């Protein structure tokens, strides 16, 4: 009785070492585990029976919370006894034990149809003579594979116009020990939220909700719940069924409806869940033409196209969720739009706009060319001006100026440079007289020589000075104007006699 009240730790030490007991020992596994409903073996062997001892009895006990409970007993004389509540689920593995033979060295038991309540420590105790008692212990863990269930949160999910999310599916991992880990596998962008509940029997239930914005895009999308339990992956899937209003388009108008074109029609197409049950046609700001026949979602225009066909057509599509509309504007042209070879069809209005744009561009180019030619002409004329009876004052003029007589010429260099205007102006004559070229003794003829010199037109106040090599400009202060001269707005001067003529 005192032995039964000792802690298991001390009992274990006594089983391993008893003074004078020799090398006898009880051999067991440290731990075993099994799933609920499965079968497991709890091994128990009596080894090193030397010197020989007599085994009087073997007892299996359940040790839980400091309390021992007999499970099964094997006695060579009395046989085998299994006590409730293990009677139908525990048996000795070796037939020799069951047949009341004196061989009790292997008293392994088979535990069937495990229950969560079977989780405990189990002691295998040998009663021997004269060595006394020997025992050992194994820890039995009972696992529970969770039950995975996935359901739609609502039997009918209706698309929303707002961006608010709603729970569309729920994944349940129920009564797991240890609990399963839930993850979602889907292409939908959503948000998962988990809730964990611990049950009285030691299992855990995990509930995970998945929320999305229900819309046309989420219809027929697949949601898969993946539960990871130890080394297993348990999956379950649902396909979303989202109800939404019709999405409406009108087909048939190709932009090329012209007068007398035959066999044209408009068709109202819709994407809806559930399908559209009613189609209605109307013409904005008027009634449908007389030659139109309505066939459910199609408008048939009988006979050739006339101008009465033009207008904006509206199709209303209705299902159990709501009504949506689509429209198309039909234009009628006088002639068909024939596409160029290998090209796309060009609408008639593009022809006229293209011609207008081309004419405008051509006019701009023409004006630009004319302006450029005029600029070049004026520029060249300015650079080659020779007086031409102008009233402007000239330096080295041609002698025809009305503003005064022949100016006095400064000495001319031998190598006279000329403006790059014409070949005729690059033929200077020898100038003699005082201040002339070296070695020249001819008299200076102003009228004749003026016609052979280069001509320059400068503003009033400008003069030229020449060195012996290069003809160059040098500007002097503005000279005084003679009393008989009148200044002009362009900088030139004329005589008062010419002014008053």
Task: Give the model confidence (pLDDT) of 84-114 as tens digits.
Answer: 989 999 999 988 776 656 678 899 999 999 9
Q: State the CATH number of the domain containing residue 151.
A: 2.60.40.10
Task: Return the minimum-mean-pLDDT range out of 111-120, 163-172, 260-269, 468-477.
Answer: 468-477
Task: Return the minimum-mean-pLDDT range out of 12-21, 68-77, 183-192.
Answer: 12-21
Give the mean model confidence (pLDDT) for residues 213-230: 94
Residues 216 and 247: beta-carbon distance below 8 Å = yes
On the question of pLDDT at 8 being above 90, the answer is no
Residue 47 banded pLDDT, cuts 50, 70, 90 = confident
Last residue of a domain, one of 240, 256, 285: 240
On the question of pLDDT at 317 being above 60, the answer is yes
Two tokens, residue 417: 């440079």
Residues 98 and 33: beta-carbon distance below 8 Å = no
Give the mean model confidence (pLDDT) for residues 154-173: 90
Give the mean model confidence (pLDDT) for residues 460-478: 42
Claim to verify: residue 214 and residue 276 sit in the same structural domain: no
User: Full-prediction pTM beyond 0.75?
Assistant: no
Task: Return the minimum-mean-pLDDT range out of 47-51, 178-182, 186-190, 427-431.
Answer: 427-431
How far is the C-alpha of 188 from the C-alpha of 66, rounded, in Å? 53
Claim to verify: residue 217 and residue 329 sit in the same structural domain: no
Claim to verify: residue 26 and residue 135 sit in the same structural domain: yes
Return the closest-CA partner of residue 97 out of 60, 142, 152, 138. Answer: 60
Return the closest-CA partner of residue 453 out of 409, 491, 494. Answer: 409
Claim to verify: residue 190 and residue 226 sit in the same structural domain: yes
Residue 348 banded pLDDT, cuts 50, 70, 90 = very low
Two tokens, residue 77: 């004389």
Residues 324 and 247: beta-carbon distance below 8 Å = yes
Residue 357 located in a structural domain = no
Residues 265 and 305: beta-carbon distance below 8 Å = no
How far is the C-alpha of 162 from the C-alpha of 365, rounded, in Å? 57
Residue 436 located in a structural domain = yes
pLDDT at residue 343, as a whole number: 52
Last residue of a domain, one of 240, 272, 307: 240
Residue 18 located in a structural domain = yes
| Higher pLDDT, residue 132 or 422 | 132
How far is the C-alpha of 69 from the C-alpha of 105, rounded, in Å? 22
Mean pLDDT of the chain: 76
pLDDT at residue 335, as a whole number: 93
Task: Return the minimum-mean-pLDDT range out of 146-155, 249-258, 487-496.
Answer: 487-496
How far is the C-alpha of 61 from the C-alpha of 75, rounded, in Å? 15
pLDDT at residue 470, as a whole number: 39
Claim to verify: residue 117 and residue 68 sit in the same structural domain: yes
How far is the C-alpha of 137 from the C-alpha of 156, rounded, in Å? 57
Domain range enclosing 163:
147-240
* Angle, alpha carbons 238-244-247 (nearest 5°): 125
On the question of pLDDT at 347 being above 60, the answer is no
Give the mean model confidence (pLDDT) for residues 201-205: 94
Last residue of a domain, one of 183, 208, 240: 240
Residue 361 located in a structural domain = no
pLDDT at residue 96, as a whole number: 73
How deeply is 429 buried, as exposed, middle or buried, from its count of CB atoms within 10 A (0-12, 13-18, 19+)? Answer: middle
Neighbours of 276 (CB within 10 A): 22
Size of the chain in residues: 501
Claim to verify: residue 77 and residue 156 sit in the same structural domain: no
Phi and psi at residue 64, to the nearest 5°:
-140, 125
pLDDT at residue 48, as a whole number: 73
Residue 376 banded pLDDT, cuts 50, 70, 90 = low
pLDDT at residue 441, as a whole number: 43
Two tokens, residue 455: 């001509």
Residue 58 banded pLDDT, cuts 50, 70, 90 = very high
Place of tokens 């500007």: 475
On the question of pLDDT at 133 being above 80, the answer is yes
Residue 415 located in a structural domain = yes
Claim to verify: residue 236 and residue 271 sit in the same structural domain: no
Claim to verify: residue 122 and residue 44 sit in the same structural domain: yes
Claim to verify: residue 117 and residue 103 sit in the same structural domain: yes
How far is the C-alpha of 113 from the C-alpha of 117, rounded, in Å? 11
Claim to verify: residue 392 and residue 491 sit in the same structural domain: yes
Claim to verify: residue 157 and residue 103 sit in the same structural domain: no
Tell me if the bond preceding 276 is cis, omega within 30° of 0: no
Residue 368 banded pLDDT, cuts 50, 70, 90 = confident
Give the mean model confidence (pLDDT) for residues 211-231: 93
pLDDT tens for each residue of 475-491: 444 455 555 665 665 56
On the question of pLDDT at 449 being above 60, the answer is no
Percent of the chain at pLDDT > 70 equals 64
| Number of folded domains that form the chain | 4
On the question of pLDDT at 13 being above 60, the answer is no
Residue 53 located in a structural domain = yes
Residues 142 and 199: beta-carbon distance below 8 Å = no
On the question of pLDDT at 265 being above 60, the answer is yes
Residue 358 located in a structural domain = no
pLDDT at residue 342, as a whole number: 60
Residue 355 located in a structural domain = no
Estimate to the nearest angstrom the gap between the alpha carbon of 122 and the chain centroid: 61
Claim to verify: residue 119 and residue 162 sit in the same structural domain: no
């Amino acid at each position: 009785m005192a032995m039964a009240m000792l802690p298991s730790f001390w009992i274990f030490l006594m089983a391993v070492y008893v003074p004078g007991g020799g090398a006898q020992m009880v051999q067991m596994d440290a731990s075993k585990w099994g799933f609920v409903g499965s079968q497991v073996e709890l091994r128990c062997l009596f080894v090193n029976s030397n010197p020989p001892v007599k085994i009087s009895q073997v007892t299996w006990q359940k040790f839980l919370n400091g309390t021992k409970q007999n499970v099964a007993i094997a006695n060579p004389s009395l046989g085998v006894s299994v006590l409730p509540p293990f009677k139908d689920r525990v048996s000795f593995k070796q037939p020799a034990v069951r047949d009341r033979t004196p061989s009790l060295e292997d008293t392994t038991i088979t535990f069937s149809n495990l229950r969560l309540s079977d989780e405990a420590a189990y002691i295998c105790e040998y009663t021997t003579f004269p060595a006394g008692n020997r025992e050992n212990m194994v820890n039995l863990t009972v696992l529970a594979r969770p039950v995975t269930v996935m359901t739609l949160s609502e039997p009918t999910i209706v698309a929303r116009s707002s961006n608010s999310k709603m729970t569309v599916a729920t994944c349940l991992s129920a009564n797991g020990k240890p609990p399963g880990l839930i993850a979602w596998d889907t292409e939908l962008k959503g948000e998962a939220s988990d809730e964990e509940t611990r049950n009285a029997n030691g299992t855990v239930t995990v509930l995970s909700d998945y929320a999305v914005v229900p819309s046309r895009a989420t219809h027929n999308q697949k949601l898969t719940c993946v539960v990871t339990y130890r080394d297993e992956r348990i999956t379950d899937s649902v396909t979303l069924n989202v109800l939404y209003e019709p999405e409406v388009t009108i087909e048939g108008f190709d932009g090329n409806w012209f007068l007398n074109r035959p066999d044209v029609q408009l068709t109202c197409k819709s994407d809806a869940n559930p399908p559209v049950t009613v189609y209605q046609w109307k013409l904005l700001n008027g009634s449908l033409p007389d030659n139109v026949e309505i066939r459910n979602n199609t408008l048939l225009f009988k006979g050739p196209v006339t101008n009465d066909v033009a207008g904006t057509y509206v199709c209303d599509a209705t299902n159990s969720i709501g009504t949506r509309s689509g429209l198309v504007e039909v234009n009628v042209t006088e002639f068909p739009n024939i596409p160029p070879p290998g090209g796309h069809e060009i609408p008639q209005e593009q022809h006229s706009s293209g011609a207008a744009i081309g004419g405008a561009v051509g006019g701009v180019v023409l004006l630009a060319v004319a302006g450029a030619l005029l600029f070049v002409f004026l520029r060249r004329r300015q650079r080659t001006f020779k007086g031409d009876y102008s009233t402007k004052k000239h330096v080295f003029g041609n002698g025809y100026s009305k503003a005064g007589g022949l100016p006095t010429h400064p000495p001319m260099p031998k190598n006279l440079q000329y403006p790059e205007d014409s070949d005729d102006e690059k033929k200077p004559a020898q100038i003699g007289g005082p201040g002339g070229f070296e070695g020249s003794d001819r008299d200076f003829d102003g009228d004749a020589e003026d016609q052979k010199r280069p001509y320059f037109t400068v503003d009033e106040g400008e003069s030229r000075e020449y060195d012996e090599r290069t003809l160059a400009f040098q500007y002097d202060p503005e000279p005084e104007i003679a009393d008989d001269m009148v200044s002009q707005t362009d900088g030139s001067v004329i005589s008062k006699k010419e002014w008053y003529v």
